[in-house]
Chains A and B, each alone.
Chain A
Amino acid sequence: MHPSPLLRLALGLILTASAAGSRASALRVDVHDASGAPVADAVVSLVPLDHPAPPAHGAHAIMDQRNLSFVPQVLVVQTGTEVGFPNSDNVRHHVYSFSPAKRFELKLYAGNHASSVLFDHPGVDTLGCNIHDWMLGYVVVVDTPWFAKTGNDGIARVDAPAGRYTLQLWDARQDPGTPPVSETVTLGASPTERQYTLALHPAELTNRPPPGLEIGLGDRTSAHAH
């Protein structure tokens, strides 16, 4: 885990929460798979029912290409967020998305020249690299600033102003035929907890290069730090 995006996210959340008012409520979501194992990288979002969500002006996020992988694999952004796609590897990447929410294609040459894409429609954008088939990333675009990803312990915490929300839960490995979790929750003074058990497929792509593959591996960031 790299602290930098998380830090930014946390900062963003704090800013959002403070903007919404002082009566912040905490939601804790615990996600397990059918075998009871914690599910990481599940996305929890709270879409306000009683008022429109505050827009994400100038919001910015990074989906890095590092070690022939998307980092992070799952990036949650509010609609209208511009996401930068730097290339931290010393090989080219050709990132694309054919998802209806956002279609794009970025040819990323070696060197950290970031291109950026504005995600202006909610939905899940599945990212691939035309050069490296195993790379799989998701940009989950939600219409709310209150969202979180589960950690390795399967727990996600969202602080949002009290009020009624539609709680949406998404995971990449969910069966596409199964309706996504979408539940109305009311956040009050006391922390709210929710537990979900998801039926998941094994991931087809791991976003990790095949074991032993060393071509193109390198830390461009650290190289530039010198």
Chain B
Amino acid sequence: MRIDFRARLALLLLGLFVLVQVPTFLAFYYATRQSALDQAQARLTAGTKVFGDLLANRGKQLLDAVRVTTSDFGFKQAVATGDIPTIHSVLYNQGHRIAADLTVLTGLDGKVVASLDASGRAVPAGDWSGLVAGAAASTSGTSVAVIGGRPYQLVIVPVRAPTPIAWVGMGFALDDPLARTLKELAGVEVSFVARADSGQRWIASTLPKEDRAAADTLFGAARHAGPAPALLALASGDYFTRWQPLVSRGGVAGAVLQYSRDQALSSYHALRGELLLIALVSLLGSIAGVLWLSRNVTRPVSQLADAARRIGHGDYLGLVPVEHHDELGQLAEAFNSMQRGIARREQQIAYAAFHDNLTSLPNRARMQQLLAEALEQARADGRPLGVLMLDLDRFKEINDTMGHGIGDRVLVEVAQRLQAGLEDGDALARFGGDEFVLVVGAADRAALDARVGQLVADVSQPVVAGSVELFVEASAGMAVYPEHGQVADDLLRRADIAMYDAKEARQRLQVYRIGRDAEHLHRLSLVNDLRRAVPHGELELYYQPKLHLSSRRVAHVEALLRWRHPQHGLVPPDEFIPLAEHSGLIRSLTDWVLHEVIRQCAEWADGGLDIGIALNLSAMDLGSGDLPDVLNRHLARYRLDPSRLVLEITETAVMRDAFYSLEVLNRLKACGVMLAIDDFGTGYSSLSHLKRLPVDELKIDKSFVIGMDQDEDDAVIVRSTIELAHNMGLKVVAEGVETEATMELLHRYRCDSVQGYLISRPMAASDATAWLVQATRHPDAAPSGTPA
């Protein structure tokens, strides 16, 4: 079980309180109790003394009373008559006067003359000679005697006339009423106990009835008690007990004086009750106080804990109340200041998390939310929503050539332009790099198209950065809710696809075409498959011969890459090469091709076939600086003459990054290989630029060659290109030669080599080998068409 701080504090304080209170209480409790008991014993002692005094006083009073009685002349006269009836009557009369329980007249010798009880009846009084002798010897005049089994306080006085003529004894029973009277005066329980010589027992007592049965106990135990009060257990409880012997004749008599222990403790019990009540009240008070205190102490802590939890949950609105100016108050202030700091930083972080640093536009993550909201709105309004993916063409070029500062300014400018075209409910985000996403709303599809067209057009305006005016072209793809997708992810992906389509189609804006998604997915899966194409041996090279027109010899073949896909069969290069370029796989393909070509070339050379091989490099290959090294390594491995290799680079690839590609081309050239410009005529290369390239050969694109025997313009282009190339010292290869007429024309234009179906279709390595062996043996009978 977890005990929280407040409970611990409360327990500690309470514990301390109890630690102090309980011993105090106990000490007080026991001291009081002991005091009550001591007091009881003291009362008993005092009571005993009072009892003794009372009894003695009573003796004196009785003595006086009896003396008065006996000095009555009439009484003396009566006694002197010796007349028994007279004596009886006078004895009764005098005895009754002073309430004697026993009245006895004896002669001077102690012989009983008459004895009466309280009601005047003659009763036996036993032998009084001893009593009388005792009385004569004693000065007190009173004594105790057990007569007829009962103890009496006796007063025995002489009847004087004026010398003693007789003895009168008056007995006062030590009975219950006397005990009660004495109890009232002495404040202690009084019991008279006696045992006559005859063995008869007597008890008179103020004790409850049930205790009288214990007369023997009282008689025995009390008599043997020492001077100190003994504790005697009786039926009605425990009593402090003292024994007060009464000197007596005719038996043993004594008074048992007792003080009830329970009674002594009763006031103490009341006190104890009050004490307990006080203790209870003070305990409750302490609990309340402790709870209040601990609450007061811990409440700020709890508030801080609550605040910490609240802040943990991201709620920065509340403030911890600063109630005191102590350490806790300082802590609370520190908490509040921390909360403000966290809130501020979280805002910054949140802003940074959802915004692009450079343009301050929302970023991809934020766009997901904005788009979701916009979709919600569009769905509610029943309006279309355009999701536009836009990027800048050749932005990398700007960055590389002009520096990142200029590139950033271009991005900011584009962002501002796009932003300027936004309306309420639209959204704009930068996804990174030069990629922007717009969410554009409109009343209907037509209005949407108009707006989007305007936005893209606005972007494609020159940007002035410093002294430079840059022509910025953007390609945009758009997916439209609801026709192209219902959810943000679909729309974004399809806009992306559309944008790539726009790029490929060299259009500013491409609206997503339904189904492109599947193609795209197919391409994605092809990319995946392409990764394992090299290790699985799914790639192979086909070779297409080039015929040298003047010598009618085949001196070179062009290596063409084929991918034999396990499910889709042969995949055309037009399809997978762009995929490889986009996915970065092209380098591994190029490496494989380089290796395979060099190996094949070396093999043919070893087999006596003096054939050079041309292979195509991708624009991406020019971007990687280690291509010359790889080339050198393979060449060295197969000890191949580098001049047998022709590396073909498309005109567009060369133009894409003219500076860098020039450097790479120079390094390749330094390896000793031949370089050719492929597909010449499709790009927009300037002649001056071309002049600086270390190329050896131009390959005229087949689009010009195929129709040149029909189309005069194409023929002119081909012819002038050949002349131009020759003027620059370059050899010329024409591709796509399919007819004799074309070949004849090219021969006439002094084209150096031709390549096409007329010569041969591309062949697998083994077929190519056979074909080449055949061709070199019979150069004039060069086979045409593809071998079976």
Contact = CB atoms under 8 A, between A and B. Distances in A.
Interface string B78-101: 001000000000000000000000
B165 interface: yes
B161 interface: yes
Interface string A161-174: 00000000000000
Contacts of B76: 98
Interface stretch (A85-93, A125-133, A192-200): A125-133
A161 to B, nearest CB: 35
B108 A135 contact: no
Contacts of B77: 98
B525 interface: no
Given A126-B162, A205-B162, 19 more contacts: A94-B73, A98-B76, A98-B77, A98-B165, A103-B80, A126-B163, A128-B160, A128-B162, A129-B162, A133-B71, A133-B160, A133-B162, A136-B162, A136-B163, A176-B108, A177-B109, A204-B163, A204-B164, A205-B163
A135 B80 contact: no
Contacts of B162: 126-129, 133-136, 205
Interface in A68-119: 94, 96, 98, 103
Interface string B214-246: 000000000000000000000000000000000
Nearest to A207: B162
11 contacts: A98-B80, A103-B80, A126-B162, A126-B163, A128-B160, A128-B162, A133-B160, A135-B162, A136-B163, A177-B109, A205-B162
Interface in B18-57: none
Interface of B: 71, 73, 76-77, 80, 108-109, 160-165
B316 to A, nearest CB: 117
B383 to A, nearest CB: 148
A128 B165 CA distance: 12
Contacts of B165: 98
A127 to B, nearest CB: 8
B181 to A, nearest CB: 32
A146 B409 CA distance: 185
Contact of B161 (A126, A134, A176, A177): A126
Contacts of B80: 98, 103
A96 B73 CA distance: 10
Nearest to B163: A126
Nearest to A138: B163
Contacts of A135: 162
A130 B73 contact: yes
Interface in A153-188: 176-177
Nearest to A97: B161
Interface residues of A, number: 17
Contacts of A103: 80
Contacts of B109: 177
A129 B80 CA distance: 15
A95 to B, nearest CB: 11
A98 B71 contact: no
A130 B161 CA distance: 9
B245 to A, nearest CB: 32
A98 B73 CA distance: 11
Interface of A: 94, 96, 98, 103, 126-130, 133-136, 176-177, 204-205
A206 B164 CA distance: 14
Contacts of B163: 126, 128, 136, 204-205
A135 B71 CA distance: 14
A126 B162 CA distance: 7
A135 B163 CA distance: 10
A133 B165 CA distance: 14
A128 B77 CA distance: 12
B536 to A, nearest CB: 162
Contacts of B71: 133
Q: Which of A96, A127, A129, A177 has the most CB of B within 10 A?
A: A96
A204 B73 CA distance: 19
Contacts of A177: 109
Nearest to A172: B163
A134 B162 CA distance: 8
Nearest to B71: A133
B159 to A, nearest CB: 9
Nearest to A131: B73
A24 B494 CA distance: 194
Contacts of A136: 162-163
A128 B161 contact: yes
A39 to B, nearest CB: 18
Nearest to A127: B162
A103 B162 CA distance: 13
Nearest to A133: B162
A119 to B, nearest CB: 17
Nearest to A132: B162
A96 B161 contact: yes
B83 to A, nearest CB: 13
A177 B133 CA distance: 13
A184 B76 CA distance: 37
A129 B71 CA distance: 12
Nearest to B161: A98
Nearest to A135: B162
A103 B81 CA distance: 10
A103 B80 CA distance: 9
A133 B118 CA distance: 29
A135 B162 CA distance: 8
A62 to B, nearest CB: 20
Nearest to B72: A130
Contacts of B73: 94, 96, 130
Q: Which of A94, A103, A128 has the most CB of B within 10 A?
A: A128
Nearest to B162: A128
Contacts of A134: 162
B132 to A, nearest CB: 13
B133 to A, nearest CB: 12
Nearest to B81: A98
Contacts of A204: 163-164
**Nearest 3 pairs between A and B by C-beta?**
A128-B162, A98-B80, A98-B161
B741 to A, nearest CB: 199
A171 to B, nearest CB: 13
Contacts of B160: 128, 133
A226 B165 CA distance: 43
Nearest to B165: A98
Contacts of A127: 162
A104 to B, nearest CB: 12
A75 B691 CA distance: 202
A130 B74 CA distance: 10
A130 B72 CA distance: 9
B21 to A, nearest CB: 73
A103 B161 CA distance: 11
Contacts of B108: 176
A146 B73 CA distance: 36
B26 to A, nearest CB: 67
A134 B160 CA distance: 11
Contacts of A94: 73
B357 to A, nearest CB: 139
Contacts of A176: 108
Nearest to B76: A98
A126 B164 CA distance: 10
Q: Which of B76, B77, B162, B164 has the most CB of A within 10 A?
A: B162
Nearest to A205: B162
B70 to A, nearest CB: 11
Nearest to B108: A176
